[in-house]
Amino acid sequence: MSMAMEFCPSCGVLLEIEAAGGGRKMRFFCPTCPYICPINVKMVRKESLVKKEVEPIFGADEMKYAPKTSATCPRCHHGEAYFRQMQIRSADEPMTSFYKCCNDSCRFDWRDD
């Protein structure tokens, strides 16, 4: 069930929602004053999510300059990969290493925390 943002007309406090007795009916109530408002209609709120555009760890231009290391690809088991390290968590946590397989037919991306 979606929650609507409703405010008490008496005191202006955000209303809460609860079951109104033994049935499946719901009602809004004010937690600070005696105001109660029964919900007589079905409440539906649909929102479409906008997916965040994800930037690739290795851009096309960066690949020719990226350093290589010996790392085994989990997909094709090739023994060499491009790598990049980034601090993605708090400063007291270790850096995260990102890898991209050097095998031209694979190019699998993975990370090592």
Alpha carbon distance 99, 111 (integer Å): 6
Pick the CATH number of 1-45 from 2.20.25.10, 3.30.10.20, 3.30.950.10, 1.10.486.10: 2.20.25.10
Q: What is the pLDDT of residues 83-113, one digit of tens each?
A: 988 888 888 889 999 999 999 899 899 988 6
The residue among 2 and 84 whose pLDDT is bigger is 84
Q: How far is CA 14 from CA 3, 17, 82, in A?
A: 12, 10, 53
Mean pLDDT of the residues in the chain = 84
**DSSP state string for 9-38:** TTT-PBPEEEE-SSSS-EEEE-SSSS-EEE
Matching fold, domains 1-45 and 68-112: yes
CATH architecture of 68-112: Single Sheet (2.20)
SS3 content of the chain, % helix, strand, coil (to 5): 0, 30, 70
Name the binding residues: 8, 11, 30, 33, 73, 76, 101, 106
**Average pLDDT, stretch 13-20?**
86
Task: Break the chain into its structural domains and give their ranges.
Answer: 1-45, 68-112
**Cβ of 81: how many Cβ atoms within 10 Å?**
25
Name the binding residues for Zn(2+): 8, 11, 30, 33, 73, 76, 101, 106
